[in-house]
Amino acid sequence: MLIDELPKGGNIELEVKYSGQAMSFRSNIIAIKNNSVLITAVKVNDQTIGFSEKCQINFLFKTDGKVFLWEKIDVKLVKYDGQICHKIDLYGEGKSYNRRESYRLYIGEDMPLYVNTASGPSAISVLVKDISETGVAFITKDEIDIDRTIRLKLKDNNTLISLSGVVLRKEYLPNLDSNLYGCRFNEKNNMLGKYIAKKQGEQLRKKAPSYSSPPTRERKK
Mean pLDDT of 172-195: 90
Whether 204 shows a pLDDT value over 80: the answer reads no
% of the chain with per-residue pLDDT over 70: 89
pLDDT, tens digit (0-9, with 9 covering 90-100), for 114-169: 999 888 889 999 999 999 888 999 999 999 998 899 999 988 777 789 999 999 88
Please tell me the predicted confidence (pLDDT) of residue 215: 47
End-to-end Cα spacing for the chain: 24
pLDDT at 18: 77
To which CATH superfamily is domain 105-200 assigned?
Answer: predicted glycosyltransferase like domains (2.40.10.220)
Q: What is the CATH number of domain 3-100?
A: 2.30.110.10
Q: Residue 85 pLDDT > 70, yes or no?
A: yes
- CA dihedral 95→105→162→45, nearest 10 degrees, is -90
> How confident is the model at residue 211, as a pLDDT?
42
Predicted confidence (pLDDT) at residue 207 exceeds the cutoff of 80: no
Q: Are strands 105-117 and 47-48 parallel, antiparallel or unpaired?
A: unpaired
- Note the pLDDT tens digit of each residue in 39-80: 999 887 778 888 888 888 999 998 887 889 999 999 999 999
The answer to whether residue 109 scores a pLDDT higher than 80 is: yes
Confidence of residue 208 (pLDDT cuts 50, 70, 90): low
Instruction: Enumerate the CATH 2.30.110.10 domain ranges in the chain, comma separated.
Output: 3-100
Q: In sequence order, which residues have a C-beta less than 8 Å from that of residue 184 and are 6 or more positions away?
A: 134, 135, 165, 166, 168
Q: What is residue 50's predicted lDDT score, i.e. its pLDDT?
A: 86
Dihedral over alpha carbons 193, 196, 197, 203 (to 10 degrees): 180
Looking at the chain, the domain(s) classified CATH 2.40.10.220 span 105-200
**pLDDT band per the 50, 70, 90 thresholds, residue 12:** very high
**Residue of 120 and 177 predicted with greater confidence:** 177
